[in-house]
Structure 1
Amino acid sequence: MLIDLSKSSMALDVALSKARELNLEPLAVVVLDSGGNMVAMKREDGAGILRSEIAFSKAWGALGMGFGSRNLMERVRRMPAFFVALASVSNGRVVPVPGGVLIRDDDGKVIGAVGVSGATSDQDELCAVAGIKAAGLNADPGNDVF
């Protein structure tokens, strides 16, 4: 299974709808395929100019490490030197906070990731998970949160 444009669009729209339901700050949402290529992206009016890059980097970091960005944050807390090395090899592209959620197929294989930025990290993650689930896919934010 691949993450196609149709499912990506649904994930984006539902993530943004969830943000409006919760009255969150304007978001940017990015969907990447398993190779880290952007499939789709939306940035709400009023979202800061870095939000799209942050959303991309949350998803990209999750894909690169093979686990949700929530787990990445926990590793960075326990091993600060790990993040220094990770930041170096990724040219500073990884953002180690919640909001980067892996998309898995029914066999558990990673087929992509969603990154969200604009609200608190926990709220970003909540919106990403809502979008992924609405698209009929399996969300893996890390640490069995959802």
Structure 2
Amino acid sequence: MLNGFLGNVVFRLFDALPSPPLSPFGRPGSRQTPEKMARPFAHKAGVSLKWVKSISVRFCPFESNVESTRHFLECVFARKAYKTNMNCDVKTEVRHDGSEPIIDVTFVDGEKLIMKAANLTIRDMLDVFKSKCELRDLKS
């Protein structure tokens, strides 16, 4: 415990220090990039696996361009998405070779969707994925 004169000096020094700036979300020191601000919450992404037979995701976790691929996996593994098709086979292949992240989707009718996710945002991937699924909804 600091008592007396020394304690008053220490507390006055801490009072004089500036407080850290607040981010838009109110947490000190958190930096929000446009990618993080555009990231949807997995349970609100609205991903439906109804017409999907399998999803294969390959990426190197040590590369800087795999963040959106991980967010896509988060959306696919969400409980709400899983309930739309419990027979959908989701495989994740983690490599350590510096390879480009690739998402390979096989639909029930045999058509394939291959997304090279190095330069895609999560919004881009979800928009393409949802449009392909909605196209199958219209056909049926």
- Bin of the TM-score, shorter chain as denominator length: under 0.3
TM-score (norm 1): 0.27
